[in-house]
Structure 1
Amino acid sequence: MATAKKKQKNRFFKFIKWFWILFFTGICAGGLIFLLASWGVFGPMPEYEYLENPETNLATEFISADGETLGKLYLDDNRTPVDFKDLPKNLVDALVATEDARFYEHAGIDARGFLRALFYLGKKGGASTISQQLARQLFVGVRSRNKVEAITQKIKEWVLATRLERQYTKEEIIAMYFNIYDFGNNADGIRSASRIYFGKEPKELRVEESAMLVGMFKNSSLYNPRPSRNPVGTKNRRNVVLAQMAKYGYIQEQLKDSLQKLPLKLNYNPESHREGLATYFRMYMQRWLNNWVKDNPKPDGTKYNIYQDGLKIYTTIDSRMQQNAEDAVTAHMKKLQAEFFVQNTPERNKTTPFLDLEPFEIDNIMERAMKTSQRWRALKRQGVSENKIRASFKEKTPMTVFDWNSDSYEKDTVMTPLDSIRYYKTFLRTAMMSMEPQTGHVKAWVGGVDYKHFQYDNVIQGSRQAGSTFKPFVYAAAIDQLRLSPCDSLPDTQYCIEPLKHGNMEQWCPKNSDGKYSMKKRTLKNALANSVNTITAQLIDQVGPGSVATIANNMGISREILPVPAIALGVPEVNVYEMVGAYGTFANQGVYVKPVMVTRIEDKNGTVLYEYVPETKDVLSKDVAYAMVDLMKGVTQGGSGTRLRHSYNKNNTVYKEIITGYPYELTNPIAGKTGTTQNQSDGWFMGMVPNLVTGVWVGGEERATHFKSILYGQGASMALPIWGLYMKANYENEELGISKSDFEKPENLSINVDCTKVIEEMKKEEVKDDLEELDF
């Protein structure tokens, strides 16, 4: 009996001995595995310096003057990091409740969770902590399907998780975790996800919205909330997160039940280079940045990557004014295009969309368009023969094209690539830019009707004849050099400039737009308001075209202007960018300020890399500039821009059909100038108030694409309505501070701008002449 007890006691002590041997062996083995992993035996491990600053691709962000994100530049990762303080509590609670309930209690590895996963073989949840998942995202990568590799990856995760916990606070780890995750649909990181799926910043997320985003951590490809993907599964997953939040006491059961019944309520706002606000401006900035990085390297001499280095570009664009501008363009161009289609049906115009062209001229246009198309260039690079390329342009192909009548402004159709080229040429194009003249800050930039389908930026890439919007340069030269005033008068009669004078090769006798002459004297103010060509011809004859060209160049028209008399009627080709800058000189008391788009550039750490320095030039005296403003105020008081003032006239079919938003009923002082080129190919309107200058151009891609009549084809019908809609919307938002005051008048003004007495004398003279004719 004693012997049996002794043997039993020996077995017990042997069991205890081997238990502790195995226990300490396990600990040592575990420690050795950790040590080997840290030495890189299971694969390279990041250095501590890299742990301090883990590299992630960060998108360049364009920030508006009013603090809104206009858009981003990125290749693969649309990521803009946020700090923990910018994350709402409900979002953090949802993450901890769902992914790592003991997150604040462990140091990177949850022992209880590991033992539970080991005992139940993962059937009751995994053991990966938030720190481990972050380590996997940052340094380890996708879990391998090979079991041995998967085990070594897991070990590396453990090591890195503990290192991360020593290196960062819990709050920093949570912020990094939210910032690194790919939520799908170009939503890299929580800020992009919040903006794309709900149209708001992360701090504005509601509980149910936070729960949906946290639910996507399980598998963002599977739990994709878009209607075309898996909204039901995403909602179910969201409800699991809400249940977890209730389980751990972050929300009440009653709130959980009510939130689980709610639909997803997405506000989907895709972020891409071809969508969103200020697309044309952002693409211009992409080109601008590519040039900037060439001359501004990093301290180590390498170039900044505008797609990955997380630059912050602080722009002058005001997001509210930009939205007003885009809305104005859409509202007017949609109606204008509808009228253009009515007037250019195949029955009415067999050469639609071209007018006044011979068949061979149309063939040349189509040939040029075909050879400059992306399709032609792509096939050419592939080595396809020219005959086969041409044949491919005649094969019907499924495609998505622009369409004003569709909700999304595009439709699916089948047509040949050659027909699609002709189809797109039927659409009128537009450009609009708005600038603060005192600072040069560009507030709005619209380069076309839809960037996705019309990528040519007509603000700065396109150049078209200026028409009568060029006349103010002629008047400015006359007032500056001849000391004329808006009240001086000239006769409205046929006027010819002789051959060889001012470089012209033959006699030049311009006619007024209606082909008639009043045979009476007109003040310069009246002549400019009514775009009287005969008087503009007299002025350029007196000052010479060379001086007009010089003034225009000094005011920002960069291209060479041929010094011939015909420039008086707007023959020079200009773009909206240059014209807005030039007109800003008039509004800024004669000082030209080069348009500014960027005020500051910062790197991802907030270091300032660039700050703009204004570029200015004194061009005109204050008196001359004010006299010009007064002249152009006449355009909206009694000239082609007076429809900005009028009330609705139901008998006027043009107003009723295409002047969207009419009546504008603007009562504040406005200076401006309309412009129309030959055959109604281009319509312009340049409009100014004291602190905002805006230019608008409308026309076809080809000059042969235009309205038949001046009724619809003039600048007052094509371009002015966009300006009117834009300004009307701006004035409705008083926070924008758009001036309704009059332009500042210089002290001791030396140029007479009060034409009351002069007009009275002219009327008396006209009555006297009429009486003399009767006596005769």
Structure 2
Amino acid sequence: MAKKAASKKQETNDFSKYIRWFWIVFLGGILSIGLIFLLASWGVFGEMPDHTVLENPKTNLATEIISSDGKTLGKFYFDDNRTPVDYSELPKNLVDALIATEDARFYDHSGIDARGTLRAAIKLGSGGGASTISQQLAKQLFHGEGSKNIIERVLQKAKEWIIATRLERQYTKEEIIAQYFNIYDFGNNADGIRSASRIYFGKEPQDLNLKESAMLVGMFKNSSLYNPRRNPVGVKNRRNVVLAQMNKYEFIDETVKDSLQKTELDLDYTPETHNAGIATYFREYLRDFMKQWIKDNPKPDGEKWSLYNDGLKIYTTIDSRMQQYAEDAVQKHMPRLQAEFDHQNTPDRNPTAPFLELDLDEIDALMKRSMRQSERWRHMKYDLKKSDKEIIESFDKPTQMEVFSWKGEIDTIMKPIDSMRYYKSFLHTGMMSMDPQTGHVKAWVGGVNYKHFQYDHVKQGKRQVGSTFKPFVYATAIDQLHLSPCDTLPNTQITIEANKYGNPEPWTAKNSDGKYGGFKTLKNALANSTNTITARLMDKVGPQPVIDMAKNLGVEEDILPVPAIALGTPDLSVYEMVAAYSTFANKGVYNKPVLVTRIEDKNGTVLFQFTPESKDVLSEEVAYVTVNLMEGVTQGGSGTRLRHTWAGNTQVYKEIITGYPYGFDNPIAGKTGTTQNQSDGWFMGMVPNLVTGVWVGAEDRAAHFRTITYGQGASMALPIWGLYMKSCYENPELGISKGNFEKPNELSIQVDCDNYQPDEGASQSIDEDLDGVINF
């Protein structure tokens, strides 16, 4: 009996010992966990974000380029193409998809889902993880993916819980959701929900429909695995899981779920890279503008702004609609023009194609010069430290490459020297459009394809302007001699003797059509680019006043003061020419072109506000008379085809003009320009509130059309202007004027040649100063 009692007592003591050890282990575990959390919160296991860091988490934000109509033109970034959005910009179906899939009790917990954590612990994670949206945000923001080491994972989870609860105290639920969408990397340079919705579906987040939202939320599981470009089947399946979760939690009904699960992804993949999208040439120009601005405008603490990480917002004058119309016009006209150029330069028709007037030795010298100017030469010479001999030999070794064509990129194997010659055959263009009253640049097309041709023909390129320079001569003559568009001059050859204006030899102006005789009004002479009339005006006013006029109109290039400039020998940029012509349309007031209206930091603080730069150059009367002269170009001169309403031409221009029935009937002032040997074609076109300049030509002036049929500005450049303006007029929201150029209240110079009655006294003084002038 005593033995039994002792045994029972022993069992009781043993059980008590087990109980005691259980509580020691249990309480010890609780205390250990508590100690781990305490030590983690103190930063013992690694730095923890304090209140300030939580309030302003460090994320790289792309600089956003915004058009005048509020559209994103592009971004500047290195690794993170991230532009944050507010919760108010997220559609309800996107938020519902996230809650249903990632954290169904999100609105009921304070950062940690106790029920989910207990379930995960009991099932050892087999039933799914327990991380809340707040925990996942903490991981994304502050410590990323942890080690596979079990101890480090436990410590990481502790830090994650602490940060999650702090985030819940710091932010509202809506702010946490917005941050989570903004921080996630969706792949393909789609950092954050805004970039993802634009890249995968070509739209802003607020415009996402239900199935698009479900696809993007499904990518949260693993964007590398569920990449819609590489794994569309897997992504579709994952999207359908999200739709099922939304049905499970009653965000959508069974019918909607079933119908959407049967649909395809319907991607509209629109990559956001530096070489893609619209206004690529303008964006590259803007990059240089911003680099200089950053250099001149440090942060308040003296540090430099980062163009790629600080989330600046650059508000520009470019109108995304007009920019698209301009690019569309180039894309429509240039392949047709190129096709005709290629047709004329087959080896049978032109053995030295694409060059004309060059012998084989001259072509060889040109190619060697281009070789030394190439990026390949620079890279091998200065980066790889190769000898000239090695570099030259490399140009004759076939290489795998991707080359441009108007029918799409071509993967091929080609010798670099052959690819250079191939590219020499392409025609290029530069186009800029500007509001003359404000100086705001509305469209900027620097070339035909930025990826393959990165030279900007708006600002960088300077080419002979041909007859588009003549209005500067006429404006000077009107300003100095008070001439009327109705005044006439003899259409006969004129020779300006040597040394009269510094020219070493006599200079004789000849008409391009070889026709002489009789008299021409100034309006008719400008409309038809009669060289002899322009030369007579130059002889009376002299080159230097014309140069001074051009400089005041915004021309930056130095111009040699010789009489030949009257016919357009200076090399100028499209940028300079548009600014100059805008002065005529703006009643003689020059406005420096404006490209950026303001710059803001990521919080919306204004860092830069543009200040207009303008000056009076001409009297309102002289500007109006010059515009009136240029209206003659489209009324009866080389720009008359803008008035045509037919769909084609049975004669020489059928390949170029077919399909270009412009049919404009509103006032248009302008000037075509064609340089020697048809190397450059220009058209400058103006309506009262928009001035647009277009240049077309090949990289080398020895590559050009053989005849003026296709090689003139009216065939090369004018169609781009016509197509562009036609699109602009079809969009009434743009408000492009169809009205008359405003006439000055007091106009002493007569412009109505049908009722022209010259003033006797004025005529006599003009005759004395300008030999050969006849008024009628």
User: TM-score normalized by structure 2?
Assistant: 0.95
Distance 1:667 1:352 in 2: 41
Letter paired with 1:689? V
The alpha carbon displacement at 1:360 in A equals 2.3
Partner of 2:177: 174
Question: How far is 1:22 from its partner?
Answer: 4.2
* 1:516 to 1:41, Cα distance in 2 relative to 1, 3 A: same
Give the equivalent residue in structure 1 for 2:76: 73
Q: Does 1:263 align with 2:261?
A: no
Q: C-alpha separation between the residues in 2 aligned to 1:747 and 1:674? A: 30
- Which amino acid is 2:590 matched to? Y
Aligned pairs for 1:96-245 within 5 A = 96-226=99-229, 229-245=230-246
Letter in 2 for 1:585: T
**TM-fit CA distance, 1:580:** 0.3
- Amino acid corresponding to residue 699 of structure 2 in structure 1: E
Q: How does 1:168-567 map to 2 (within 5 A)?
A: 168-226=171-229, 229-380=230-381, 381-405=383-407, 409-517=408-516, 519-567=517-565
Question: Which residue of structure 2 aligns with residue 766 of structure 1?
Answer: none
Residues 200 and 110 of structure 1, relative CA distance in 2, 3 Å threshold: same
Q: What code does the residue aligned with 2:465 have?
A: A
Q: Distance in 2 between matches of 1:507 and 1:450?
A: 44
Equivalence map 1:642-657=2 (5 Å): 642-648=640-646, 650-657=648-655
Give me the whole-angstrom Cα distance separating, in 1, the residues matched to 2:150 and 2:757: 96
Offset at residue 325 of structure 1 (A)? 0.2
For the residues of structure 2 that align with 1:387 and 1:469, how far apart are their CA atoms?
Answer: 45
Counterpart amino acid of residue 566 in structure 2 = A
Contact 2:648-2:658 within 8 A present in 1 as well: no
Q: Deviations over 1:355-379 (max 9, x none)?
A: 1112222122211221222222222
1:678 pairs with 2:679: no
1:745-774 CA distance string (max 9 Å, x none)? 11021111011134999xxxxxxxxxxxxx
Task: Please state how far the C-alpha of 1:505 moved relative to its aligned partner.
Answer: 1.3
Once the two structures are TM-superposed, the CA of residue 21 in structure 1 deviates from its matched residue by: 4.5
Q: How far apart are residue 648 of structure 1 and its match? A: 1.9
CA distance in 2, matches of 1:239, 1:19: 47
Correspondences of 1:19-58 after superposition (within 5 Å): 20-58=23-61
Stretches of structure 2 that go unaligned for 5 or more consecutive residues are: 760-776
What do residues 302-334 of structure 1 show as CA deviations (whole Å, max 9, x unaligned)? 111101110000000000000000000010001
- Aligned residues of 2:750 and 2:756 also touching (Cα < 8 A): no
CA distance in 2, matches of 1:713, 1:651: 17
For 2:687, the equivalent position in structure 1 comes to: 689
Partner of 2:595: 597
Aligned partner of 2:354: which letter? Answer: P
Larger mean CA deviation between 519-528 and 469-478 belongs to: 519-528
Cα deviation for residue 653 of structure 1 reads 3.8
User: CA separation in 2, counterparts of 1:202 and 1:678?
Assistant: 53
SS, match of residue 673 in structure 1: strand
Residues 531-560 of structure 1 deviation map (CA, whole Å, 9 limit, x = unaligned) = 000000000110110000000000000111
Query: 1:649 Cα shift?
Result: 6.7
Cα distance, 1:10 vs. partner? 7.2
Deviations 1:223-255 (A, max 9, x none): 1111xx110000001001111111111111111
Indicate if the aligned counterparts of 1:660 and 1:721 stay in contact, CA closer than 8 A. Answer: no
CA distance in 2, matches of 1:573, 1:81: 45
Maintained 8 Å contact 2:649/2:658: no
Worse overlay, 3-12 or 502-511? 3-12
Aligned with residue 568 of structure 1, among 547, 566, 569: 566
Distance in 2, matches of 1:579 and 1:122, equals 70
Distance 1:651 1:295, change over 3 A: closer
CA distance in structure 1 between the aligned counterparts of 2:377 and 2:188, rounded to whole angstroms:
30
- 1:499 to partner: Cα distance: 1.2
Q: Cα deviations across residues 165-184 of structure 1 (Å, max 9, x unaligned)?
A: 11111111111111011100
Letter in 1 for 2:144: G
In the alignment, residue 400 of structure 2 is paired with which amino acid? P
Q: Deviations over 1:625-644 (max 9, x none)?
A: 00011000000000000000
CA deviations over 1:678-714 (Å, ceiling 9, x no partner): 0000000000000000000000000001000000000
Q: Which residue of 2 aligns with 1:699?
A: 697
Gaps of 5+ in 1: 762-776
Map of 1:748 onto structure 2: 746
State how many pairs are aligned.
Answer: 755
Q: 1:650 to 1:186 in 2, by over 3 A?
A: closer
CA displacement 1:339-397 (0-9 Å, x = unmatched) = 00000011111111111112222122211221222222222221222222211111111
Aligned to 1:638: 636
Segment of structure 1 superposing worse, 646-655 or 675-684 = 646-655
Measured in 2, the distance between the counterparts of 1:317 and 1:654 equals 37
% identity of equivalent residues: 70
2:649 and 2:592 map into 1 onto residues whose CA distance is 44
CA contact (8 A) 1:600 1:611 kept: yes
Counterpart among 725, 730, 733 of residue 731 in structure 2: 733
Return closer, same or farther for 1:382/1:537 CA change in 2, 3 Å cut-off.
same
Q: Relative to 1, partners in 2 of residues 1:92 and 1:567: Cα closer, same or farther, differing over 3 Å?
A: same
1:90 alignment counterpart: 93
Is the partner of 1:501 in helix, strand or coil? coil
The SS at the match of 1:244 is helix
- Per-residue CA deviations over 1:584-643 (Å, capped at 9, x if unaligned) read 000000000000000010000000000101100100000000001100000000000000
The match for 1:60 is 63
Aligned mates of 2:175, 2:648 — CA distance in 1: 64
Q: Give, in whole Å, the separation in 1 of the partners of 2:225 and 2:119.
A: 27
Given the superposition, is the C-alpha separation of residues 448 and 359 from structure 1 closer, same or farther in structure 2, using an over 3 Å criterion? same
Bigger mean CA deviation after superposition, 55-64 or 145-154 = 145-154
Give the TM-score normalised by structure 1: 0.95
Match of 2:767? Answer: none
Aligned residue type for 2:96: D
Q: C-alpha separation between the residues in 2 aligned to 1:522 and 1:6?
A: 134
Secondary structure class of the residue paired with 2:501: helix
Q: Work out the CA distance in 1 between the residues paired with 2:666 and 2:738.
A: 5
Q: Aligned equivalents of 1:115 and 1:656: distance in 2?
A: 79
**Residue deviations 1:146-181 (CA, integer Å, cap 9, x gap):** 333222222221121111111111111111111011
Structure 2 equivalent of residue 771 of structure 1:
none
With 2-11 and 28-37 compared, the bigger mean Cα shift is at 2-11
Within 2, Cα distance between the matches of 1:6 and 1:175? Answer: 64
The question of whether the paired residues in 2 share the 8 Å contact of 1:278 and 1:446 is answered with yes
1:660 Cα deviation from its structure 2 partner: 5.2
Q: Is the 1:485–1:751 contact (alpha carbons within 8 Å) kept by the matching residues of 2?
A: yes
Q: Which shifted more, 368-377 or 567-576?
A: 368-377
**C-alpha distance in 1, partners of 2:366/2:607?**
46
Shift of 1:13: 6.8
Change (3 A) 1:116 1:649: closer
